[in-house]
Structure 1
Amino acid sequence: MSPTITYPETKRVDVVEQHFGQTIADPYRWLENDVRNDKEVAAWVESQNKVTNAHLNTLPGRDIFKNRLKQLYNYERFSIPVKKGGRYFYLHNSGLQNQQVLYVRDSVDSAGRVLIDPNSWAEDGATALAEWSASDDGKRVAYAVQDGGTDWRTIRVLEVNTGKVLDDQVKWARFTSIAWTKDGSGFFYARYPEPKQGTESQASVANHAVYFHAIGTPQAQDRLVYTNPDQPNMLHTLSITEDGRYVAITSTPISATNTLTVVDLQSADWKPRKLVDNLDNQWGVVGNVGTKFFLMTSQDAPRFKVVTMDIAAADPAIRDVVPEQDSVLLNPSLVAGRLLISYLADVKTEIRRYTLDGKADGVVKLPGIGTAGGFKGKQSDPETFFIFTSFNAPGVIYRYDVASNTARVWAQPKVAIDLSQIAVEQRFYTSKDGTRVPMFIVRRKDVTRSAPTLLYAYGGFGIPILPAFSPEHLGWVEQGGVYAVANIRGGSEYGKAWHEAGRRQNKQNVFDDFIAAGEYLKALLITPQDGLAIQGGSNGGLLIGAVVNQRPDLFAAALPQVGVMDMLRFDQFTSGKTWVDEFGSPAREADFRNLLSYSPYHNIESGKAYPAILATTADTDDRVVPGHTFKYVAALQAADIGDKPHLARIETRAGHGAGKPTDKIIEETADMWAFAAHWTGLDVKPAK
């Protein structure tokens, strides 16, 4: 055990509000203020980090994990190449580079050359290359710059032949893709109105809109293409069809439903046309052949299907092409005259081929059991690319020939660990209400005894957690620990119904599934009674905070990352209003009472012994603002919940996760693993 920790004194304020006849105290409301603009909050952060670092410095595993994670991270990583104008564009990290570098090859197997290297943009490596898109002729790249982890983007344009950065500059883009016109004259993007100066990091975002930027013109002249002021909290995702004729826009309140709008660029007025004007189902554009659109949808198909819609008709009919299957349809692609469809069967990828009239045309053989993604390309192009990964397989890029149904390795990384010694198995356990839930268990093959376990899950927004290579988690497994992933409800591992069973009034199912996973691991002696650590980020951070309150006896250590911890005020900050469709609204009584029942900040219970908690966040997180974690940790430290440490680790110039430099990832992971190892009894030893 570590010596008792003396926490910094945290001021309490007299903030009490009435909600639906219930009195709600919020004594740490002042910690919601922006750390960069409030000296008192900044001083609190500094004092918390000082105490946290003092504790972490006592942990012998900290340097061991850090040194080994550097070795595990030091391997080449490639993104799936995108073919434009006969050139191949892709991201690459040589190993320990803080940021991925954009490369181009002039032919499929030629040497790559650097186009954009963001590692020179900031001394601390915290300015990243975010979204990017090459023009159809491969002559230009529009790319987004992300500074210090913020969700805000600035878009610039580079000439591929010369490396020259043009004067074009588009600001205040956020949650955007970039889609070039067929002739390369400009691109479409999505942005918010410019926030008031000084409020950029905490301003509530509303009125997302799609614009067109013509190359060589100032942003002030950008053309507004689509917005929906009647529903200001909708997010718009845009793409352009392969023939360059249509811009497709899906609009969603961050849920598993959306509207679908198209803009015919051949028309003079670019008038948006609503193809789907309700939020009853999910829709996505696969591609088109003239006016016939191929779409994926959950309409009458909770596991999704592919349909067509000929928009030449005033009221186009919807026709099934590939009906709903037993497995969940994830991603369909229209490439080389075939539909290549990714299915999820018990959380494992299968790729099935179909002709454009829906006839089965075999399968794509994958190199193992795991996750495959990609398969994008043109209908006229015989090749496409995909990536395959699993818990014990780093991401290998394959070039796939559609006509011959054959694949060959295009880029294969080499890692500093013998992956043949890593065992992966899938099990199924029963949740509180009898639901059968899948779980992956990863450990060394020689670990046959009960061992300290790190249990991870997410459980929200219809996001499935799929098998994928992780140097961080292998760092834990290599030390003899067990890594477990519970595919709890709230994701889409089994389609729309799996998501619905874990959202809004059903959110408690998510927590029950996770608690049942912990009980299962202990009951089967995979995990010792005092050896379970838990981890989750963002919505998963909410999960960790909630289950710790509900079952503090079950866990030895908890690692909530960038969590949504105040469920009564989440909609007051940045993009929080867009989560109302997932969580419910604190302004509606039924939702309020449900949110209050599990809100991590409001349900800390004195008189119970809590696990050791290391809550992590970042000062520039403008998606889940750090005030969530600040208030939660202040409440933990003020409560009578035992002698184990309840600490905050607050990163500087880092946001919600995207764009975080490699060195910051390694340091944060080393701190978390050393903390979890100490409190679960994992014996950390230097690698041989």
Structure 2
Amino acid sequence: MPKITYPETRRDDVVEQQFGEAIADPYRWLENDVRNDREVADWVERENRVSRAYLDGLPQRAWFADRMRELLGYERFGLPVKAGPYYFYTRNSGLQNQAQLFVRKGLHGTPRLLLDPNAWAKDGATALDAWEPSDDGRHLLYSVQDGGSDWRILRVRDVATGAALADEVRWAKFTNLAWAGNEGFLYSRFPEPAEGTAFQGLNYNQAIYYHRLGTPQARDELVYATPDHPDYSHSVQVTHDGRLAVITSATGTDARYELRVIDLAHRARDGWKARALVTGFTDDWKLVEGAGEKLWFVTNWQAPRYRLVGIDLAKRDAGWSELVAEREDILEKGDIVGDQLILNYLHDAASHALVYGLDGRKARDLTLNGIGTASGFRGRPGDPETFYSFTSFNQPSAVYRLNLTTGHSEPFAEPALTFDPAAFVVEQRFYSSRDGTRIPMFIVRAKAAAKARRALPTLLYGYGGFDISLTPTFSSQRMAWLEAGGAFAMANIRGGGEYGREWHDAGRGANKQNTFDDFIAAGEFLIAEGITPRGGLAIQGGSNGGLLVGAVVNQRPDLFAAANAQVGVMDMLRFDRFTAGRYWVDDYGYPDREADFRVLRAYSPYHNIRSGVKYPAMLVTTADTDDRVVPGHSFKYAAALQAADLGDKPRLIRIETRAGHGSGKPTDKAIEEGADTLAFLAEWTGLALPEAKVGGFDVQKKAN
């Protein structure tokens, strides 16, 4: 490849004293909003021109783009939701930029298109986010996401006619959609931001409101707010019988909540009076369901791996009773459907489901199709059925209908595939981290390569934060990498939620280095076991995973051949200054507290680039409308990479327009970004397109 001439980036003399240390920040001007700062916009254009010229010249790019289109070219369905006489579900015919929402009367009725987001914007970047039918099925409440932003616009449709109602709610963010009866709904919103601050200003004073259909937003009723604690966030759910509204309050990203309950049956008399149920912000509480004045929750209160508990609010001084005790596996969620409890567990980061009676007695296991991820099981007491999906690394999501009377599952929507899942093997291996902790990792590769014990260029993915579990799911991008002859690995490192509270605590705050050690050990294991050759390992991660990639590259640049840091948190000394960043102190700590500052300063990707050391090939990816992790993180990090003496391998940044942190991204943008990323990683790991059929696809023919 020709030598890259990086755009010239202005360096300012910005130095601040923090706890006796001089902290240089020469690229702080790149934090400015690209929409409002012409100099930042010009820098973005120049960087994209350089990156575009390089990426377009990669020999594998066209093949990856073509193959991803073919892998995505199948009919995909979302989980059906029943309300009144109707079933609602999403469907993508294959390469549509956004999934459409359909409705049918009765399970086997004729499908009718109700919402088509593809008609909302010429570039396909306006998406249908969440949606919720009213209990009687007459209306559909839905949220609209534009350009990848976290802000949402709430709108309503008449289901029978398909007509749009005049109702519109703005400045909703991080909200549930909760009908309170059939004539109005509850939602969470922030105050309207000052002009020019919508995409970078800090989010404070979230509150819950009630909107009555047919009225303007200005007349919405304030339901719950904490003006004395503007940093608190609030969400609301309503039990399926419409009796109770459950308010969940948090102080950050930690799953430590307070609970309050509003009895909607007495709203005419008591208004929005909220009764405290759990106070103190100490434990996780996940609402399962309610019936009358009874409530059921999945919680880690006195059970680090979670259990199922219930409470009867009709009883004076009611206390919690245990229905299903804590097990060795993590209890992720629960649902009451019909007269049964469906509990979804996580065993070594893979799903399995158990069915219980409402008395807490186990009825049966729910058989799933191997190592993978099950989700769904939504329903309400009295329903005769529920729907769930199952997916794995080599299995796109399929939807199943579970008959609760017989316990029999049958396919509702199965994808028609353009590859052979049996050509690939999914295995789980365990390895030791630096301190001896046993870490699980999924490894996916062609069966023939695994049998021959052939080392392959490998893409290693990780996250390790915010109590989030990485589980097996299908990705057309990963499958294209596998078909091209590579291997894929996903490490379940500490900081995630794979083994409950202790696993999360072991990889955050002062323990964050464990996350990086776990990921580095994963790379060393893949090389030592002959799964990938030395010089053949690429790494990838997004958001907190982008931070992971930046940190481990600084610490072990010799270990990796190439790296893709996606929408990463790269400046650990200023992350809390923008949008939702203030919530993240639960995982990262407070930059303005000395003990936390010392930890953050030690691994912050932007502040620890090692000039004079050879780095792997680096591709930083972000988007101009990312108001979760503002793009200034990636802008500053990429500028610092390009200014340092890190060897001859490329250090590029790819900046998407009209896109955000990831959700809502149109299919065509996802394919283009995936092709760029895979071609870049293939170039620097030695992944060459094979001459034989892999997974039933003639790779060489396509490459030509």
Partner of 1:606: 611
432, 435, 444: which one aligns with 2:434: 432
Deviation at 1:394, TM superposition (A): 1.2
Partner of 1:72: 71
Q: CA RMSD in A?
A: 1.1
SS at match of 1:197: coil
SS at match of 1:450: coil
Find out whether 1:295 has 2:297 as its counterpart. Answer: yes
Partner of 1:212: 210
519, 530, 533: which one aligns with 1:528: 533
Partner of 2:461: 456
Partners of 2:226 and 2:507 in 1: CA distance: 28
Q: Is the 8 A contact 2:87 2:104 kept in 1?
A: yes
Q: Is the 8 A contact 2:239 2:291 kept in 1?
A: no
Partner of 1:657: 662
574, 590, 600: which one aligns with 1:569: 574
668, 672, 678: which one aligns with 2:673: 668
Partner of 2:324: 322
For 2:473, give the aligned amino acid: A
SS at match of 1:675: helix
Deviation at 1:234, TM superposition (A): 2.8
Partners of 2:437 and 2:232 in 1: CA distance: 33
Task: Give the alignment of 1:199-278 within 5 angstroms.
Answer: 199-252=197-250, 253-267=252-266, 268-278=270-280
Find out whether 1:549 has 2:554 as its counterpart. Answer: yes
Task: Give the alignment of 1:459-498 within 5 angstroms.
Answer: 459-498=464-503
SS at match of 1:137: coil
328, 339, 360: which one aligns with 1:358: 360
Partners of 1:346 and 1:34 in 2: CA distance: 42
Task: Give the alignment of 1:268-417 within 5 angstroms.
Answer: 268-417=270-419
Q: Is the 8 A contact 1:68 1:687 kept in 2?
A: no
Q: Is the 8 A contact 2:286 2:333 kept in 1?
A: no
Q: Is the 8 A contact 2:618 2:652 kept in 1?
A: yes
Deviation at 1:316, TM superposition (A): 2.5
Partners of 1:632 and 1:338 in 2: CA distance: 51
SS at match of 2:375: strand
Deviation at 1:259, TM superposition (A): 1.2
1:240-269 deviation per Cα after TM superposition (whole angstroms, max 9, x unaligned): 001101111212211121111111112332
Partners of 2:353 and 2:204 in 1: CA distance: 38
Partner of 2:185: 187
For 2:225, give the aligned amino acid: T
Partners of 1:283 and 1:596 in 2: CA distance: 33
Structure 1 stretch displaced more, 364-373 or 616-625: 364-373
1:476-525 deviation per Cα after TM superposition (whole angstroms, max 9, x unaligned): 00011000000111111111111111111111111010000000000001
Partner of 1:104: 103
SS at match of 1:279: strand
Deviation at 1:684, TM superposition (A): 2.5
1:11-63 deviation per Cα after TM superposition (whole angstroms, max 9, x unaligned): 01111111111111100000000111111001100110111111112210011
1:406-454 deviation per Cα after TM superposition (whole angstroms, max 9, x unaligned): 1111111112111110111110011111111110011111223101000
Partners of 2:231 and 2:620 in 1: CA distance: 29
Deviation at 1:192, TM superposition (A): 0.6
For 2:47, give the aligned amino acid: Q
1:185-224 deviation per Cα after TM superposition (whole angstroms, max 9, x unaligned): 1011111100012211111111111111000001001011
Structure 1 stretch displaced more, 223-232 or 24-33: 223-232
Deviation at 1:290, TM superposition (A): 2.1
Partners of 1:248 and 1:552 in 2: CA distance: 48
Partners of 1:129 and 1:625 in 2: CA distance: 22
Partners of 1:418 and 1:335 in 2: CA distance: 35
Partners of 1:676 and 1:455 in 2: CA distance: 11
For 1:231, give the aligned amino acid: H
Partners of 2:458 and 2:90 in 1: CA distance: 33
Partner of 2:544: 539
Partners of 1:599 and 1:228 in 2: CA distance: 33
Partners of 1:379 and 1:70 in 2: CA distance: 41
Find out whether 1:29 has 2:28 as its counterpart. Answer: yes
SS at match of 1:632: helix
Partners of 2:146 and 2:287 in 1: CA distance: 31
| Percent sequence identity over aligned pairs | 57
Task: Give the alignment of 1:9-24 within 5 angstroms.
Answer: 9-24=8-23
Partners of 1:95 and 1:202 in 2: CA distance: 35
SS at match of 1:446: helix
Tell me the TM-score normalised to structure 1 length: 0.98
Any unmatched runs of 5+ in structure 2? 691-698
Deviation at 1:232, TM superposition (A): 2.3
Q: Is the 8 A contact 2:398 2:413 kept in 1?
A: yes
Partners of 2:381 and 2:174 in 1: CA distance: 28
1:68-108 deviation per Cα after TM superposition (whole angstroms, max 9, x unaligned): 11101111111111100021111111110001111111111
Partners of 1:94 and 1:232 in 2: CA distance: 44
Q: Is the 8 A contact 1:296 1:304 kept in 2?
A: yes
For 2:299, give the aligned amino acid: T
Q: Is the 8 A contact 1:149 1:620 kept in 2?
A: yes
Structure 1 stretch displaced more, 408-417 or 514-523: 408-417
What is the number of residues matched between the two proteins?
686
Q: Is the 8 A contact 1:234 1:578 kept in 2?
A: no
Q: Is the 8 A contact 2:76 2:91 kept in 1?
A: yes
Partner of 1:7: 6
Partner of 2:694: none
Deviation at 1:313, TM superposition (A): 4.0
Find out whether 1:559 has 2:559 as its counterpart. Answer: no
SS at match of 1:396: strand
Deviation at 1:333, TM superposition (A): 0.6
Partners of 1:74 and 1:56 in 2: CA distance: 24
For 1:254, give the aligned amino acid: T
1:566-586 deviation per Cα after TM superposition (whole angstroms, max 9, x unaligned): 000000001101111111111
Deviation at 1:141, TM superposition (A): 0.5
Deviation at 1:384, TM superposition (A): 0.5
Partners of 2:287 and 2:402 in 1: CA distance: 22
Partners of 1:288 and 1:120 in 2: CA distance: 38
For 1:113, give the aligned amino acid: R
Structure 1 stretch displaced more, 359-368 or 335-344: 359-368
Partner of 1:48: 47
Deviation at 1:687, TM superposition (A): 5.2
Structure 1 stretch displaced more, 352-361 or 482-491: 352-361
Deviation at 1:236, TM superposition (A): 2.1
Partner of 1:160: 159
SS at match of 1:277: strand
